[in-house]
Amino acid sequence: MIIAEKKPIEEIIQEVEAYDRILVLGCNECVTVCEAGGKKEVEVLASVLRMNFMAQGREKTIDERTLERQCDHEYLEEIRDVIDQYDAVISLACGVGVQFAAEKYMTTPVLPGVNTVCLGANEDRGLWTERCQACGTCVLARTGGICPVSRCAKRVLNGPCGGASNGKCEISKDTDCAWQLIIDRLKALGKMEDYEKVAPVKDWSTDRAGGPRTVTREDVKI
Amino acid sequence: MYVVGCMEGDCHFNEGNFRARKRVEQAAKVLDKIGIGGDRVKMYNLSSGEGPLFAQYSTEMVNLVKKMGPSPVRLARQRMAKKADAA
């Protein structure tokens, strides 16, 4: 899922300084799971903003709403009849949701309330780690389910490089060498013959390096 | 405001009091950042049989709040109410 972190409160306060009627808009999906932008976080942020401005003697209208998602038209449409009541929206959705909301409601500023960090997994309570960089051409079948694109600092496809030491990456002793993990996994799976196969040159045109991506499904379009 | 939870390790809900402590710490940090004062929220741990200790913590909290004075939000609301009455 998409992992995000709450923006520092000082930054959000500065973003909304000039607006009197604000809607704090949460999202019930990824940002809820990583505890950055769900209903609970909306309530807390709205309350903090009210207290902050009230303590300065400034009364602002700060309302709360959480949509199922902010990356689908149907859910964003739910606020169409109320959006004009606000001077600005703080969206706690990931970058996708903020942008989609901004595109839909072009005359209302939509401000980000979180920093979108990565695609990752919830390894432990309070710990989310990156697993995928959406390169568009998945090689996980050849690497025992461990991604050399997101987890190798050099994105080497026939690793390891010469910098790995004791199973750790040369960039930090706290970072596992992805290729060590891959080899360990292929050994456990009894598939070391896959390691011997030289991976072909990767098609990076499907990666972000090839420009913003689009997925079109003709079988789904009406 | 103070939150009272069971002794650490004795929580009926296993980790409930640990989670509560983290949330109270988070609330205190945010209240500090917006100038309300993080000391206005605290967590204490004690068992349900420790009545005198509960009274001690209550007194401690009351004295702390008296020392800090009314919250800036309350003061601002009072000023706004006075202005509204005057107008």
Mutate to test the interface with B, among A7, A10, A51 (most CBs of B within 10 A): A51
Paired strand residues for A5: A115
Rounded Cα gap, residues B38 and A130, in angstroms: 33
> Cβ contacts of residue A48 below 8 Å, gap of 6+?
A9, B30, B34
Rounded Cα gap, residues A43 and A182, in angstroms: 43
Give me the phi and psi of A3, to 5 degrees please.
-105, 135
In residues, how long is chain B? 87
**Angle, nearest 10°, between helix axes B72-86 and A39-55?**
60
Which residues in chain A are closer than 8 Å to B70, comparing Cβ atoms? none
Nearest chain A residue to B81, by CA: A57
| Pick from B34, B75, B79: CB nearest A51 | B34
Cβ contact (<8 Å) for B80 and A13?
A: no
Rounded Cα gap, residues A189 and A61, in angstroms: 58
Segments making up each domain of chain A, as ranges: 2-118, 137-209
Are A186 and A140 within 8 A, CB to CB?
no
Residue A118 CB neighbour total at 10 angstroms: 16
For residue A61 the two structure tokens come to: 């209208």
Give A16-58 pLDDT, tens digit per residue: 999 999 999 999 999 999 999 999 999 999 999 999 999 998 9
Is beta strand A114-124 parallel, antiparallel or unpaired with respect to A2-6? antiparallel
Rounded Cα gap, residues A90 and A176, in angstroms: 37
**B13 has a pLDDT exceeding 80:** no
Which residues in chain B are closer than 8 Å to A55, comparing Cβ atoms? 34-36, 71-73, 75-76
Is beta strand A114-124 parallel, antiparallel or unpaired with respect to A127-132? antiparallel
pLDDT at A1: 95
| Pick from B73, B75, B79: CB nearest A51 | B73
Give A118-167 pLDDT, tens digit per residue: 999 999 999 999 999 999 999 999 999 999 999 999 999 998 999 999 99
**A172 has a pLDDT exceeding 90:** yes
Q: What letter would DSSP give residue A8? A: P
Nearest to B61 by CA among B78, B44, B37: B44
Four-point Cα dihedral A154, A160, A162, A163, nearest 10: 60
Q: Is B77 on the interface with A (CB under 8 A)?
A: yes
Rounded Cα gap, residues A175 and B53, in angstroms: 47
**B9 has a pLDDT exceeding 80:** no
CA distance to partner chain A, nearest, from residue B54 (Å): 28
Cβ contact (<8 Å) for B79 and A57?
A: yes
pLDDT band at A189 (very low <50, low <70, confident <90, very high): very high
What's the CATH architecture for A2-118? 3-Layer(aba) Sandwich (3.40)
- The whole-chain average pLDDT of chain A stands at 95
Rounded Cα gap, residues A190 and A182, in angstroms: 12
pLDDT band at A9 (very low <50, low <70, confident <90, very high): very high
Are A113 and A90 within 8 A, CB to CB?
yes
Count the domains in chain B: 1
Per DSSP, the residues of A45-74 read HHHHHHHHHHHTT---EEEEEEES-SSSHH
For residue A95 the two structure tokens come to: 């970058």
Nearest to A92 by CA among A27, A47, A45, A44: A27
Q: Which domain holds residue B8?
A: 2-86
Cβ contact (<8 Å) for A10 and B77?
A: no
